[in-house]
Structure 1
Amino acid sequence: MDSLVGFVGKNYVLMAGDTNAGRSIMRLKDDFDKLVQVDSHKILAKSGEIGDGNQFCNLIIRNVSLYRINNETELTTKSVAHYTRRQLATAIRKNPYSVNLLLGGYDKKDQMGSLYYLDYLGSSKKINYGAHGYAALFVGSILDRFWKEDLDFEEGLELMKKCLREVEKRLIIGTRCFVIKMINSDGISVVEKVMINSEKKNEIEEEN
C-alpha cells in the first residue's frame, strides 16, 4: 500500500510518503519511514518490496558517502540519479530489485531543487512532479492542474495535503499517517506528520 508524492517548488522540493509497512492484507507497523536521507540535501523515497527497498537504498547511501569521503566533494542530485539508475539497470540481469524511487535534492551550487523519477527497470527522468505506488493512480490529475512554477511553500503544502486527502479518499484500506519532508538550502526537515483519518473525523464532526 505504498504511496509516494513529490514535486519541485520555489527553491525547495516537497516529498511525502505513507508510514505503513505491510504484507498482503496484514499491517506490520505504522511508523515506517519511506523517505530516507542520502546526504544533507537529498532524499530517496522508496516503494515496493520492503527488503529490496532497504537493501538497495543502503547500497546507494553508502556508496554516495564513500565517494564524498574519497573525493572530498558531494555528488549533485543529477549524478546520484544517474548512479542509482545504473545500479538498477545492472541489477536487472543479476538480482533485480523490486523497488521504485523518487529522488529529491537541492544543489547549493545551482541554488535550485530537482526531482527524479526512477523505476525498477532502470528508467530515469527529471520531473517537476511525480508519484509512485497507489498515489500515482490518483494524484496525477491534481498535480497537473494545480502545480505551477515558483510554487511558494504555503501553496505547496496545501497542494501536498490535497493529494494525500485524495489518496485516502479513494483507497478502500486507508493509510493512517503520511510524513511530509522538505529539502531546501538549509537541508532536510520534517514539515508535518499528517493523520488523514483524524482530519476526516474532524471534518465529519464539523459538518454535524
Structure 2
Amino acid sequence: MASKQPDALLGPESDSQRTQYPYVTGTSVVAIKYKDGILMASDMGGSYGSTLRYKSVERIKPIGKHSLLGASGEISDFQEILRYLDELILYDNMWDDGNSLGPKEVHNYLTRIMYNRRNKFNPLWNSLVLGGVKNGQKYLGTVSMIGVNFEDNHVASGFGNHLARPILRQEWHENLSFEDGVRLLEKCMLVLLYRDRSAINKFQIAKITDEGVTIHQPYSLKTNWEFSAFQNPSQGAVGTW
C-alpha cells in the first residue's frame, strides 16, 4: 500500500500556477524619438519554443492617452501586464480630476511591477519598451524582467540590444522626420530579420505624438538572401561551428 504524502510537503501554494518558463515568446522591439514624437517597431512572430508558431501577434499597444508599450518575451505575461495597466488607467480615470497618467508615470509603475514580481521569485518574463508624449515632452524608456530600467533617445529589447542599437548610435539624430525615422527602423528590423532566427518578415510600426497613437497595418520588407556570408556562413569562422 502506497504511503500518503505528507500535506506539509505540499504547502499552502501547492495548487498555484505561474509561468516557470516562457513558452510562446516574441522577439525584439525597437523604438526611437523623432522630431514629433516616438516611433516603435516590432515583428508579429510568436515562437513556441524554437518553432515560429504564430504569425499575427501584436506586441505594441496604446496605454492611456499618452503612452505606447511594446514587449519582448512571454506573450501571456504581456497580457497580464496589460491587465494591470487597464486597471491602473481605469482607477486614474475614476478620479476625474482632469489629469491623466503620462509615460513617465507609467514607466515608473512598470519598473515597480517587474521588480516586485522578481523579488517574489515569480517574474513576468518580459522586456518592455515604453514611449510617449505629454504636453510636448517626449519620453522613451525600457525595463527588463528584473526591474533594470533606463531612459534614452533610442532603446531596444531582445536581440535589438545587440544588433539594432549600434545602428541607432551611428544614424539617429534628434531632428529625424517621420519618413527618415521609419526608414531607420526598417533598416534595424531588416538586420534583425537576417540575424535573429525568431524574427519574421511581418512588421508593425506605431507612432505617438501630441495628437495621439497611430498603429499602422502590418507589412513586409524586401529582402536579399544572396549575400556570400549567407551562402557559406562558416567560412573563415574560428572554431568548429
The TM-score, its normalising length taken from structure 2, stands at 0.77
Counterpart-to-counterpart distance in 1, 2:197 and 2:148 = 30
Q: Quick one: which of 106, 109, 125 aligns to 1:98?
A: 125
Counterpart-to-counterpart distance in 2, 1:8 and 1:148 = 9
Preserved CA contact (<8 Å) 2:64 2:101? no
Counterpart-to-counterpart distance in 1, 2:71 and 2:93 = 23
Greater mean deviation of Cα atoms: 123-132 or 20-29: 20-29
Percent identical pairs in the alignment equals 24
Preserved CA contact (<8 Å) 1:181 1:192? no
- The letter for the 1-side match of 2:128 is L
**How many pairs were matched up?**
200
Q: 1:192, CA displacement in angstroms?
A: 5.0
Bigger fraction of residues in strand? 1
Q: Quick one: which of 105, 117, 125 aligns to 2:150?
A: 125
Counterpart-to-counterpart distance in 2, 1:21 and 1:36 = 16
Q: Which residue in the other structure is 1:139 paired with? A: 164
Structure number, greater radius of gyration: 2
SS at match of 2:56: coil
Q: Quick one: which of 223, 227, 231 aligns to 1:200?
A: 223
Q: Deviations over 1:144-192 (max 9, x none)?
A: 0000112111111111111111111223455121100000111111245
Point out where structure 1 has 5 or more consecutive residues left out of the alignment. Answer: none
Q: Which residue in the other structure is 2:62 paired with? A: 37
Preserved CA contact (<8 Å) 2:28 2:158? yes
Pairs within 5 Å for 1:48-59? 48-59=73-84
Greater length-normalized contact order (CA 8 Å, ≥ 6 residues apart): 1
Preserved CA contact (<8 Å) 1:30 1:176? no
Preserved CA contact (<8 Å) 2:43 2:199? no
Pairs within 5 Å for 1:1-208? 1-72=26-97, 73-94=99-120, 95-107=122-134, 109=135, 111-172=136-197, 174-191=199-216, 193-196=218-221, 199-200=222-223
Bigger fraction of residues in helix? 1
